[in-house]
Amino acid sequence: MNILTQTADGSNTLFNETIGEHYHSAHGALQESKHVFINAGLDYAISQKPERAVNILEVGFGTGLNFLMSLAYAEENLINLNYTGIEAYPLATSVIQETGYAQYVPQAVWTSFINNYEACLNEQQKLTSNCNLQILISKLADVKSTPTFDLIYYDAFSVRHQPEMWTNEMIAHTCNFLKPNGIFVTYAITGDLKRAVKGCGLKIEKLPGAPGKREMLRAIKSEAL
pLDDT single digits (tens) 151-172: 999 999 999 999 999 999 999 9
Alpha-helical regions (H) of 91-215: 93-98, 107-120, 168-175, 191-199
Q: DSSP states of 170-187 as a string?
A: HHHHHHTTEEEEEEEEES
Phi, psi of 40 (to 5 degrees): -80, -20
Instruction: Please give the pLDDT value at position 182.
Output: 96
Mean pLDDT across the chain, nearest whole number? 96
The structural domains of the chain, with segments of one domain joined by +, span 28-221
Q: In the predicted model, what is the mean pLDDT of residues 34-38?
A: 98
Percent of the chain that is helix, strand, coil (3-state, to 5) = 35, 30, 35
Q: What is the pLDDT of residues 104-152, one digit of tens each?
A: 999 999 999 999 999 999 999 999 999 999 999 999 999 999 999 999 9
Helix axes of 107-120 and 65-77: crossing angle, nearest 10 degrees: 130
Distance CA 78, CA 112 (A): 16
Beta strands 131-136; 178-186: pairing state? unpaired
Distance CA 68, CA 111 (A): 11
Alpha-helical regions (H) of the chain: 29-32, 44-47, 65-77, 93-98, 107-120, 168-175, 191-199
Instruction: Please give the pLDDT value at position 224.
Output: 60
Is the pLDDT confidence value at 225 over 70?
Answer: no
Instruction: Please give the pLDDT value at position 123.
Output: 97
Architecture per CATH, domain 28-221, reads as 3-Layer(aba) Sandwich (3.40)
Note the residue count of the chain: 225
Phi, psi of 112 (to 5 degrees): -65, -35
N-to-C CA span, the chain: 42
pLDDT confidence band for 34 (50 / 70 / 90): very high
Instruction: Please give the pLDDT value at position 200.
Output: 95
Q: Are 98 and 4 in contact (CB under 8 A)?
A: yes
Instruction: Please give the pLDDT value at position 63.
Output: 98
SS3 assignment, position 199: helix
Q: In the predicted model, what is the mean pLDDT of residues 75-99?
A: 97
